[in-house]
Amino acid sequence: MDFNIIQILLVAVFAFIAAIDQYNFLESLYQPIVSGAVIGAILGDLQTGLIVGGTYQLMTIGNMPVGGAQPPNAVIGGIMAVVFAIASKLDAGAAVGLAVPFALIGQYCVTFLFTIMSPLMSKADKYAEKADVKGIVKLNYGAMAALGLFFTIVVVIGLIGGSVVGDKLAALSTQFAWFMNGLSAAGKMMRYVGFAILLRIMLSKDLWGIYFGGFALATIIGKIEGLAGSALLLIALIGIAVCIYDFQTNVKMKSAGAYIGVGGDDEDGI
């Protein structure tokens, strides 16, 4: 599938904005579930964009930068996954697998830019000492522009390359079905890796019971015909109900504890 110049320009502009949004702006536009829908709409296939974006979002849900270590970049990876899915008519799992190398390139771009910016922090300190607001603004805008430019170049190269070799990739997917099946399996596994990373960071020992309860509910509801499609919504509502009940119980216990020993004694007949 070939993309016209307007589509390429729109994707480039969005990639530039999403790159900056990762650390500034709303900090939500760059999320794959959002970027997938936008890129899908630009390339003329909103449904595929939503599906692939949602799949990639599950993969990255537990990824977060720790110190100087950067995870595979969600901006470039999410955009290129949609591009591959639409250009080559791949399923979501295989498209996500093919997009991972581009996500790694994005990771290297961010790490490279941070390395360049590190020595400039001393210059920013000098600007601050002199109350040079314009200098600090220029420094920040320069860093954001550089990041957006890096991402735009990578995405445009991938977009043009993806459109040129789209038919070849589709033919190779048929000829080397075993390889594409491997990519598809790897892409589908990554969503669980993302959840595992998230649980490792957030889960406390006190919440294991709720976790297993939610897993059991998801399995049971998912097997019931007619409820499987709304399983996540139903479980989310049950989770909200449990949270509200737990909050109200804790508030009542704290309120009751605050009045212990205040007023009344044996002479009051209590």
Domain map (residue ranges) of the chain: 5-202, 204-258
Give the pLDDT score at 170.
53
Angle between helices 74-88 and 166-175 (to 10 degrees): 80
Closest of 62, 43, 54 to residue 92, by C-alpha: 54
Angle between helices 46-60 and 92-117 (to 10 degrees): 60
**Which whole-number Å values give the CA distances from 40 to 33, 110, 190, in the listed order?**
11, 25, 21
Per-residue pLDDT tens digits of the chain, which is 270 residues long: 577 889 889 999 999 999 888 877 777 888 888 999 999 999 888 998 998 888 888 877 766 655 445 677 888 888 888 888 888 787 787 788 778 777 877 777 777 777 778 788 888 888 888 888 888 888 888 888 988 898 888 888 878 876 454 455 556 656 767 766 765 666 566 667 666 777 777 677 777 888 788 888 888 888 888 777 777 788 888 888 988 988 888 887 777 765 555 555 555 544
Give the pLDDT score at 17.
92
Beta-ladder partners of 69: 66
Give the pLDDT score at 168.
58
Beta-ladder partners of 66: 69
Give the pLDDT score at 163.
47
Give the pLDDT score at 38.
92
Give the pLDDT score at 62.
61
